[in-house]
Structure 1
């Protein structure tokens, strides 16, 4: 069974050596994760994210318990809301969603769960990689899109847009490669109307978070 977009995004965010989410993925990673969930629902033709409102196109279950819970939540909202509102709202439960996706990756033998301590005081769960095959395949697929001129698949365009919004490409590309690839990343990120709506919302929210973050 292929990985969902949220699962692929989490693999890109994960530090393979420590089993922790990379620092670069926070706090935008929470928003990108829920953006990936909305994108997956859109690809499954369950929601429509055309501005200015996100709406349910089909309430039929996808078979994915996490995504179906989000779909039910969207359908139950009494007032129609846009993608940005839903990203902000769902991001409040990002830890719950992230744990559910990590647990599935553990069940599939891609990651393993380890309990440990952070700074000798705080308990934490890490997810070291058992099989890097899936992560390598995701990266190879994205690199093929970025460094070739073909028409990207909608799924790849969405994942590239969300990876860009979460600031993940400096983790995947050397500085010179990233500079060369930047125009193509920008173009692909805006290839799909959904991609522009969701990824721009993630980027805008992250900009606001960074603007009001306390100075260290």
Structure 2
């Protein structure tokens, strides 16, 4: 009986996700589901992204959080449209939440929509939102064992950002091992090292986003 309930939940979510995907395709908006654990630095990466791409791409952000608007407040400082979704304790965003929120966004005025999911390395990977791509952020402070401990998140993502790389020497983080594990879980995944403090890797990440936008608009 429990298995049937889970299937019904995921099936309903997939229906909303398909509708979202059709809408985003019609509007030619490249949509990224941005995932990672609490403290991985997702919002910090987005802040650097806003700084780098603010003059090149028309962007908006949907922020997922349990209760607060702290992350949305940070993004708002960059003059980018941002809408907060509070899940009231829910461990992930779902496609229905995104669909309701997208109605308040002028998609015709966008090139890129980033959906920062709730901080969690498990649940968000199971719920499609209608996105074009999934990105996962792994902080070196979390440990290099996390890809193998939470494999689905990395199997389902098109790009993995190893963040806070400037702290790697102080965290006993094995960069080679982490990258090998991620690539073993998902052959062909893009793995990039980034640091929001030094700026390392941010250009490459932004180039990946711009390539996704160009492809969505048929320019690639």
**In which range does the TM-score fall when normalised by the shorter chain?**
under 0.3
Structure holding more strand per residue: 2
TM-score (norm 1): 0.27
TM-score (norm 2): 0.26
Structure holding more helix per residue: 1
